[in-house]
Amino acid sequence: MSTSIAEPGLLGSTPRTRVRRLPEKAAAEREALHQVLDAGLVAHVAVVDDSGPGGTPQPYVLPVAYARFGEHVLFHGSTGSRLFRTLAAGAPTCLTVTLLDGLVLARSAFESSMNYRGAMVLGTCAVLGGGEKEAALERISEHLMPGRWAEIRPPSRKELAATVVLELSLAEASVKISDGGPTDEDEDLELPVWAGVVPLAETWCDAVPSADLRAGLDVPDYVRSWRR
């Protein structure tokens, strides 16, 4: 019942990103990759250093705000962060975006699962500077808070200097989309157990003004128009 598509070749798949399990769920189309990245708000990024037992590779997984721009993902962090400095120095990374769409309630434990959309990008980051850096910060802001950049104070020179902006190519990436209902074994279909999907939805709530808000300022129309 899964409506997923498997064409890993379309995403310039390599032995590292070829989906080894459940290839029928690899909706490996660039369009799908873009859609998943454009729909997400938070990405999880890995940084590896040598702080594992006996100096072995130790991964850290950090949540970051990001935006897709063309065939790249942009994200930012603090120059004071050791992990961001490691990424900026060219450490191989993995950036994953997961959107959980619902729970799949099968009649057996084994077939019970989740519906989700997921993107995974492998590579090393380029550090952006100059005009590219500020443009990338605008893109990240507009991805999360469309319409906001035009009215907020842009970053000062000092604030820009405190920020690392990284760019990761989508050249090596995979996308997986799992949707539809449970796929129970034939012998389980007669069990007296309800089966189906419980969808999960994410919505913006009413905006809460800051306690120190100047009088006379109302929630902007562009904020009211946000939908998920």
Report which of 25, 24, 193 is spatially closest to residue 108, judged by C-alpha positions: 193
Q: Which is nearer to its own copies, 70 or 92 (CB)?
A: 92
Give the count of residues interacting with its own copies (CB under 8 A): 103
Q: Which stretch binds its own copies (CB under 8 A): 3-11, 27-35, 66-74, 107-115?
A: 107-115
Q: Which is nearer to its own copies, 63 or 70 (CB)?
A: 63
- Say how far apart CA 3 and CA 181 lie, in whole Å: 10
Contact string 177-206 vs its own copies (x = CB under 8 A): ----xx-x---xxxxxxxxxxxxxxxxxxx
Contact string 35-74 vs its own copies (x = CB under 8 A): ------xx-xxxxx--xxx--xxxxxxxx-x---------
Q: What angle do CA 198, 203, 204 make, to 5 degrees?
A: 165
Q: Which is nearer to its own copies, 35 or 174 (CB)?
A: 174
For strand 113-123 and strand 72-78, is the pairing parallel, antiparallel, or unpaired?
A: unpaired
Tokens, residue 156: 């000062």
Q: Which stretch binds its own copies (CB under 8 A): 2-10, 25-33, 67-75, 154-162?
A: 154-162
- Say how far apart CA 122 and CA 185 lie, in whole Å: 35
86 binds its own copies (CB under 8 A): no
Q: Which is nearer to its own copies, 13 or 163 (CB)?
A: 163
Give min distance, CB of 12 to its own copies, in A: 16
5, 26 contact by CB (below 8 A) = yes
* CB-CB neighbours of 160 under 10 Å: 16
Give min distance, CB of 104 to its own copies, in A: 9
- Say how far apart CA 186 and CA 183 lie, in whole Å: 9
